[in-house]
Amino acid sequence: MARGRFILLEGCDRAGKSTQCEMLVAAMKERGHSVELCKFPDRTTTIGQMIHAYLTNTRELDDRAIHLLFSANRWEAMQAMKRKLQQGIHLVVDRYAYSGVAFSTAKGLDLTWCKNPDRGLVRPDLTFFLDLPTSEAEKRGGFGEERYEKRELQERVRDVFLQLKSNEWVIVDACKSVQSMHNELLREVEHKIRVAEEDAKLADDEDDILEDMFM
């Protein structure tokens, strides 16, 4: 049995990540896949509640402190995520370490320092970057409600994301319709899973989880 695939959706605020994650999970379930949705930050944990208070402007924290809290929020989910992937469950993840690095670097922290707390996290098998100009994001409902939703910061965040991207990333035009984006994401995911399943049938060795984030 092939292990589950870690499918990540990244992008600036209001790019449509949460909507696309939910649509992707629903479509994969319809096709018979075992799949779960994960969101970062996970605001249900004690650490997540501190992050939520910060993001909603009800608590002030030093930029380095909040960066480390975001990282800790990811680390506390690692064992459960690994276990699910090993059980053959696919994970569709809404934001991850790339967001943490992009936002903190955009605020003026050192890029390498920002990467260090997340080194060794499970690395995604497939990363989508939903690319949306800030001028378009501002037109979408809810923009500006949270701390980071400011034009200048969002533009710097996008620049850092583009520095972080690798050839393995799939860049998606987030100006397209919701359905067009969904069709593109689902097509890429189905291809990734199909190739992994075919490789698993041929391979003698175990298909290891990628534990080399930022290495």
What is the tens place of the pLDDT at every residue in 162-194? 999 998 899 999 999 999 999 999 999 999 999
Structural domain contains residue 21:
yes
Please enumerate in sequence order all residues whose Cβ is within 8 A of that of 149, keeping only pairs 6 or more positions apart, or say none: 13, 14, 143
CB-based contact 69:46 (threshold 8 Å): no
Please tell me the least confidently modeled range out of 42-46, 58-62, 79-83, 183-187: 58-62
| DSSP-assigned letter for residue 146 | S
Distance, in Å, from the CA atom of 191 to the CA atom of 109, rounded to the nearest integer, reads: 37
Question: What is the domain count for the chain?
Answer: 1
The answer to whether the pTM exceeds 0.85 is yes
Structural domain contains residue 140:
yes
Predicted confidence band at 145 (pLDDT cuts at 50, 70, 90)?
A: low
Q: Which range in 1-5, 21-25, 56-60 is most confidently predicted, on average pLDDT? A: 21-25
Structural domain contains residue 155:
yes
CATH number of the domain enclosing 110: 3.40.50.300
Q: Cα separations (Å) of 180 from 62, 108, 174, 177, 188?
A: 40, 35, 9, 5, 13
For the cut 90, the answer to whether the pLDDT of residue 13 exceeds it is no
Structural domain contains residue 211:
no
* Number of residues in the chain: 215
For the cut 90, the answer to whether the pLDDT of residue 197 exceeds it is no
For the cut 80, the answer to whether the pLDDT of residue 147 exceeds it is no
Structural domain contains residue 1:
no
Average pLDDT over residues 42-69: 95
Could you list the residue range(s) of the whole structural domain that residue 29 is in? 6-202
What is the tens place of the pLDDT at every residue in 200-213? 777 655 678 888 88
Structural domain contains residue 174:
yes
Distance, in Å, from the CA atom of 149 to the CA atom of 160, rounded to the nearest integer, reads: 16
pLDDT at residue 206, as a whole number: 65
> Nearest-CA neighbor of 41 among 129, 146, 112, 127?
146
For the cut 60, the answer to whether the pLDDT of residue 143 exceeds it is no
Structural domain contains residue 143:
yes
Neighbours of 208 (CB within 10 A): 8
Structural domain contains residue 215:
no
